[in-house]
Structure 1
Amino acid sequence: MTRQIRHTAAFCLLLLVALLANAVRVQGVEAESLDKHPGNPRPTVDRFGRPRGNILVDGSPVTGSRDTHQRLRYERTYTQGPLYAPVTGYVSQTYGSTGIENAEDGILGGSDPRLAPLSFSGDHPHARSAGGQVVTTIEKPAQRAAYAGLKGRRGAVVAIEPASGRILALVSSPSYDPGVLSGTGRRVTDAWSRLNHTDTQPMLNRALRQSYPPGSAFKIVTAAAALESGVVKDVDAPTGIPAPYPLPGTDTSLPNEADGCGNASLKYAITWSCNTVMAGLGVKVGLAKMVGTAEKFGFNDPSLRIPSPVAASRFDQHMSPDQLALSSIGQYDTTATPLQMAMVSAAVANGGVLRYPRLVDHTETASGRLVSRDPDRTYNKRVMSPATARKLRQMMVNVVRAGTGGKGAIKGATVGGKTGTAQHGVHNAGLPYAWFIAWAQAKDATSPAVAVAVVVEDAEADRADISGGGVAAPIAKAVMKAALARDRAGRG
């Protein structure tokens, strides 16, 4: 009997050891994978079990939370959702999150450990605090001007403060209301299907995630390369480039839309957007230096975050001379996001120094305690010398005062710009994209207050009506006027 009791006791001990081992396995070794298992509802219930922190524009929240009294208790709400959708993104109980809602989820959802006050009570390390707040760099007047200017047409606007990299406006059109995706059920799935199956793609963030052929707006990059490399020393001197321009190694000649481009100077070519001069200068500069200059502006960078991810703008690193000629005027397979082209304008406006663009100024706790501040920092290194930036600024001013960008002029301010009409589609059959990049400086200011890029892809306009100067420049002007007014108020 004693022997049987010993065997039973040993067996029970083995069961206890196995139970303890299994508990260690489940609660220790496999805890993290079980937490993240798709079938585990607890993280989702916990995530939506309390109000989410807000995203602020000009000190006011553009988001909120609604108590549904359901298992997933709080749904996200948005104030003027379509206006700020490219900034906020959405957070959905069904479809996840995008934009700042995604990039700053730890702060907004309360899981970031920096939100918790110092505690010595052994609180659970994964416990959620009250959701913090994300304070954006967006300025309401500039954002509204950009949104109103596009009038629902397909396109985008980005405005940047050149000296700091702060993004003042970020608009994609047509837009959508992120609030329709917040919850669960048939209403949300129907909205998702509707938004994803319309030809206008309202959920596509054209400002950050869509790249376009930049057309003649890219000529500012080519001009910078020509000046920095020494190919052009005097912007008023004839370049010796004929019109039309024979594309190297081909039987094709490149024409111009403007008159007087044969043997024109760089200044004339920028003012009147001569394709031949800029294509020829790109070939003279050479592939390596053209690539190097483009990359200093931000092209070919897949790691750009603002903090939302940005699609990489492209300037091909391997091209034949004829392809380089076309790329130097923003054609062939050169592509750029509106943010990228705003960065080009900002670098010129800021004396050749490009500040890293940023959409978040700082984050804070629900009570207002500072958690983090996004610093001003330089993007890579100096894009160009101050002398080159000065020459480019003067040429861009001439575009507005005497050339193709007259509709971007602002009374009482100095404005520099560059128009662009980018061909696309098979055999250029698609309607051109209208571009305008610009910067503006108040009369009594020491530096430009704003740099902007506008692209309009208007499928319903007549081809003759589509031009950077005619379509995009007035939108840029309205945005720059709003930014200048805020700048004057801040200095007043």
Structure 2
Amino acid sequence: MIRYIRHAAAFCLLLLVALLVNAARVQVFEADALDDNPANRRTTIDRYDRPRGNILVGGRSVTGSKDTGEQLAYERTYRDGPLYAPVTGYASQTYGTTLIENAEDAVLSGTDPMLAPLPFWNEITRDRQPGGDVVTTVNDSMQRAAYEGLGGRRGAVAAVEPTTGKILALVSTPSYDPERLSGTGSSVTDAWRELNASTSQPMLNRAIRQTYPPGSTFKIVTAAAALDAEVVTDPDAATDTPSPYVLPGTSTTLPNEARGCEQASLAEAIRVSCNTVMAHLGVEVGLDGMVEAAEKFGFNDSGLKIPSGVARSNFDTDMSDDQLAQSAIGQFNTTATPLQMAMVASAVANGGDLMYPHLVDRTTTHSGSTVHTTGSRSYHRAMNPMTAMRLRQMMTDVVQDGTGTNAAIDGATVGGKTGTAQHGVDNSGLPYAWFIAWAQAEGSARPAVAVAVVVEDASADRADISGGGNAAPIARSVMEAALED
């Protein structure tokens, strides 16, 4: 009898060991796979069982969380949702996350190991910390000036601080309220369907995710290339450009909206926006030189993150001379995001040194201790300092007595460049209105801001757009807000 009891006890011990081994297998070796299993609802419940960290602008939260009393307890809320949607993105229990809500999700959700009090704390305890906060570089008054200036028209504004790369404003309109997508249920799915079906594409972040032909604003890049390559040594000297200019290898003539462009100097071509001169200079610089110049400003970079990904601005690397001539004036296949064109203006304002743009200043724990700080760093030396100095003067002339007078600000030095981007079949679409600019307060040692504005549905004729009738006043409002800080 005792032998049978021993056998039974040994068998029970074996079962117990097998049970412990299996439990260890499940809890240790298969834990990650089970956590990631879509059928495991516990992970989703846990994700929303406490408030999410906040995104801050100017020291104030533009996000929040509310307890719904449901199984997925906390839903995201947004203050001035449409104003800040291009910055925050959305955090939805149904549709996931975008923009900062996505790029900084680990901090905001409390899963970032850097939030833990000790190394490996989260792994040992299998817990997470209270959500941390994300402090942005955005200036509230500039953001509002850009948003109000666009007035709901399809378009975008990007503004950066030239000496640091901090993004001070990032606006896209028409916009949407991300809070409509926060929770679950029919109201959320209906909002999603409505927003995606809208012809105005309110969820498209035009400032960083949409590219446009930059039109004449790209002439600043071409001018930088011509000066750096010494194709032009004296900006005030006449060029050998005929008017009309016949595109190389074709019988097609390139028109000018401005007058007096024949043999015009580089400075005059920038001031009144001569297509012929700039197209001709682009061809003289050559394909390799133009590609190199464009890429120094950030074109063709598919890896730019702010920390959200930015759409690649394009300058073709394989073109015929006639295509190069068109590309040199921001047409053909040349495309750019508004942020990219703000970077162009920024490089000029900052003496040729282009700083890497960033939207997040720092991340913190829930209690406010800094976890990570985004330092300023150089992105590229976009042009020689002498070239930048000459372009500053040319852009200043554009605002003082050229096509950009609507951007002038009393008590400040303002440099700008207007642009008209044609599009559509046979250029039948209403041209986009562009304006890029920078501003520096009188007596200040450094520029305050560089800005790019694009208005898609500008209700004006082409000459008015070229004169900065739609985009320049918006840029001026944003620059005024920057100078007042």
Q: Same fold (TM over 0.5)?
A: yes
Matched AA of 1:435:
W
Q: Which residue of 2 aligns with 1:93?
A: 93
Q: CA deviation at 1:28?
A: 3.1
- Could you tell which deviates more after superposition, 250-259 or 124-133? 124-133
Moved more, 19-28 or 304-313: 19-28
8 A Cα contact 1:63 1:79, kept in partner: yes
> What corresponds to 2:227 in structure 1?
227
Alignment match, 2:438: 439
Amino acid at match of 1:327: S
- CA distances 1:315-351 after superposition (whole Å, capped 9, x unpaired): 0111111111100000001000000000000000000
- CA drift of 1:466 comes to 3.5
Deviation, 1:32, is 1.3
Map 1:446-485; keep pairs closer than 5 Å: 446-458=445-457, 461=460, 463=462, 465-467=464-466, 469-485=468-484
* Mapped partners of 1:62, 1:42: distance in 2: 29
Aligned-pair distance for 1:124?
A: 3.2
Tell me which moved more, 458-467 or 182-191.
458-467
In the alignment, which residue of structure 1 is the partner of 2:382?
A: 383
Q: 2:305 maps to what in 1?
A: 305
Contact 2:403 2:466 in 1 (8 A): no
In structure 1, the partner of 2:409 is 410
- Note the alpha carbon deviations across 1:404-441, whole angstroms, 9 max, x for none: 00000001111000000000111101111100000001
Contact 1:99 1:308 in 2 (8 A): yes
C-alpha change, 1:196 and 1:122, in structure 2 (3 Å) is closer
Offset of residue 14 of structure 1 = 7.2
Change (3 A) 1:415 1:428: same
- Secondary structure at the aligned position of 1:430 is classed as coil
Determine helix, strand or coil for the equivalent of 1:165.
coil
Q: Tell me the CA shift for residue 30 of structure 1.
A: 2.7
Displacement, 1:44? 1.3
How many Å separate the matches in 2 of 1:297 and 1:374?
Answer: 21
CA distance in 2, matches of 1:373, 1:309: 19
Q: Distance in 2 between matches of 1:289 and 1:6?
A: 88
Task: Call closer, same or farther: CA 1:342–1:74 in 2, change over 3 Å.
Answer: same
How far does residue 478 in structure 1 lie from its aligned partner after superposition? 0.3
What corresponds to 2:70 in structure 1?
70
Is the contact between residue 450 and residue 480 of structure 1 (CA under 8 Å) also seen in structure 2?
yes
Could you say if the C-alpha distance between residues 23 and 402 of structure 1 is closer, same or farther in structure 2, counting changes exceeding 3 Å? same
CA shift at 1:279, angstroms?
0.5
Distance 2:235 2:432 in 1: 28
Give the residue type in structure 2 aligned to 1:388.
Answer: T
How much does 1:289 deviate?
A: 1.0
Corresponding letter in the other structure for 1:438: A
Deviation at 1:27, TM superposition (A): 2.6
The residue number in structure 1 matching 2:370 is: 370
Q: How far apart in 2 are the matches of 1:119 and 1:341?
A: 42
Structure 1 distance, partners of 2:424, 2:67, is: 48
Give 1:12 shift.
6.8
List runs of 5+ in structure 1 lacking aligned partners.
487-492
Partner of 1:388: helix, strand, or coil? Answer: helix
1:66-117 Cα distance to aligned partner (Å, 9 max, x none): 0101110000100010011100111000000011111111111111111122
Write the distance in 2 (CA, Å) between the matches of 1:112 and 1:357: 24
Q: Give distance in 1, aligned partners of 2:131 and 2:117.
A: 13
- AA aligned to 1:261 is C
CA distance in 1, matches of 2:358, 2:87: 11
Task: State the shift of 1:26 in Å.
Answer: 2.8
Deviations 1:14-73 (A, max 9, x none): 766665554344333332122111111122111111011111111011111101011100
Query: Which position in structure 1 is the counterpart of 2:213?
Result: 213
Contact 1:53 1:110 in 2 (8 A): yes
Q: Is the 8 A contact 1:437 1:454 kept in 2?
A: yes
- TM (norm. structure 2) is 0.96
1:460 and 1:325 mapped to 2: Cα distance? 29
Q: TM-score under structure 1 normalisation? A: 0.94
C-alpha displacement of 1:368: 1.2
The SS at the match of 2:468 is helix
CA distance in 2, matches of 1:272, 1:122: 62
Q: CA deviation at 1:146?
A: 0.2
Conserved in 1, the CA contact under 8 Å of 2:107 and 2:133? Answer: yes
Q: Distance in 2 between matches of 1:84 and 1:101?
A: 12
AA aligned to 1:29 is F
* Amino acid paired to 1:367: S
Cα 1:448–1:119 change in 2 (3 A) is closer
8 Å Cα contact 2:432/2:458 also seen in 1: no
Match of 1:274 in 2: 274
Partner of 1:398: 397
| Amino-acid identity (%) | 68
Q: Please, which moves more after superposition, 161-170 or 28-37?
A: 28-37
Q: Please name the residue that 2:254 is paired with.
A: 254
Taking a change above 3 Å as real, the CA distance of residues 221 and 292 of structure 1, as seen in their structure-2 partners, is same
Change (3 A) 1:80 1:347: same
Q: 1:106 to 1:123 in 2, by over 3 A?
A: closer
Taking the aligned partners of 1:41 and 1:454, their CA distance within structure 2 comes to: 45
Using the alignment, how far apart are the partners of 2:12 and 2:95 within structure 1?
A: 48
Checking the alignment, whether the CA contact within 8 Å between 1:435 and 1:468 is kept in structure 2 is no
Bigger Cα displacement from structure 2, 142-151 vs 14-23: 14-23
Deviates more, 1:14-23 or 1:241-250: 14-23
2:358 is aligned with 1:354? no
Code of the residue aligned with 2:97 in structure 1: it is S
CA distance in 2, matches of 1:316, 1:25: 54
Partner in structure 1 of residue 420 of structure 2: 421
CA RMSD, Structure 1 to Structure 2 (Å): 2.1
Q: CA deviation at 1:467?
A: 3.7
Q: CA deviation at 1:261?
A: 0.7
Letter in 2 for 1:162: P
1:145-164 matched pairs, under 5 angstroms: 145-164=145-164
Segments of 5+ residues of structure 2 without an aligned counterpart are: none
Q: Which stretch has the larger CA shift, 2-11 or 429-438?
A: 2-11
Change (3 A) 1:119 1:431: closer
SS of equivalent to 2:44: helix
Kept in 2, the 8 Å contact 1:436–1:468? The answer is no
Count of residues in correspondence between the two structures: 485
Moved more, 214-223 or 454-463: 454-463
- Aligned match of 2:290: 290
Given the superposition, is the C-alpha separation of residues 7 and 323 from structure 1 closer, same or farther in structure 2, using an over 3 Å criterion?
farther
Deviations 1:227-254 (A, max 9, x none): 0001000001111011111111111111
In the TM superposition, what is the alpha-carbon distance from 1:206 to its structure 2 partner?
Answer: 0.3
SS in 1 for 2:293: helix
